[in-house]
Structure 1
Amino acid sequence: MFDISWGNLLVLAVAGLFILGPERLPGAAAWLGRTVRQIRQYASGAQQQLRSELGPEFDELRRPLEDLRSLREFHPRRMVTSQLLGDINDLPREITLTRNGTNGYGAPPAPPVSTPMPAPQRPLLPGERPPFDPDAT
């Protein structure tokens, strides 16, 4: 629910130790535990009360929420690949995409093509105007 790692918990404990001091920290931790437990009891009681009052309609209300949760596993790249190519396991080996190290999945990188260098331009003479292209402006 809150995605708190052990490192974050340790930082919070050290900050609490400095802020509250060693004599008040155990009492604050106990109060926090009781409060969290009480909030969970209230939430579960409210859910049970809703379920008992709504009956089967409660499950109909939960269905759209579960559909939204399924969108968490939505991967656009996988969806586009499956729509364009179908099941990637059914393709011949020559057509399957390979994983390259630069930009994810794609065709294997082509070897670099050597292009000839353009001829160097001569510098402008003093007082000479640079070339002007009216179509470029």
Structure 2
Amino acid sequence: MSLPHLAVLLVAGLFILGPERLPQTAAWAGRALRQVREHATGAQQRLQEEFGDDLREPLEQLREPLQQLNALRNADPRRAVVNYLLDDRADSHSTTPRSSPRGLGSGEKPPFDADAT
């Protein structure tokens, strides 16, 4: 919580509870929060003692598939098509020389048919 949020809560508490009961209520809320933290810490320690690393290993195995699923969730079909098309175009316009279908040499010119043009 930020400072403005706390100030709003303090002012609201002052109007709702009054100046007499506000300190008692704040002390009670602080004790309750402290107890919740202690219970959470104790439960975490007990789980760690009982399961140890037995629980950590399956969670680590699930991490990569969950990341893949998250990537699929954020996938955009348009972007996938554009990426596919651009990757395909980049492969077809590669800088490596290709052999001609007729087997022309590197310096040989293709045949020219004046009647066909």
TM-score, normalising length: structure 1: 0.44
**11 and 44 in structure 1: CA distance in 2 versus 1, 3 angstrom threshold:** same
Give the percent of matched residue pairs that are identical in Structure 1 and Structure 2. 43
Structure that is richer in helix per residue = 2
Unaligned runs of 5+ in 2: 88-117
> Which consecutive segments of 4 or more residues in structure 1 shift more than 3 A?
4-11, 60-67, 73-82
Q: 1:25 matched to which residue of 2?
A: 22
Q: 1:59 matched to which residue of 2?
A: 56
Q: Structure 1: which amino acid aligns with 2:51?
A: L
Unaligned runs of 5+ in 1: 91-137
Alignment partner of 1:46 out of 43, 47, 51: 43
CA-based RMSD: 4.0
Q: Structure 2: which amino acid aligns with 1:14?
A: V
Q: Structure 1: which amino acid aligns with 2:17?
A: L
Q: 1:35 matched to which residue of 2?
A: 32
Structure that is richer in strand per residue = 1
Q: Structure 1: which amino acid aligns with 2:30?
A: G
TM-score, normalising length: structure 2: 0.51
Tell me: higher relative CO, structure 1 or 2? Use CA pairs within 8 A at least 6 residues apart.
2
Count the aligned residue pairs: 87
- Aligned counterparts, 1:95-106, within 5 A: none
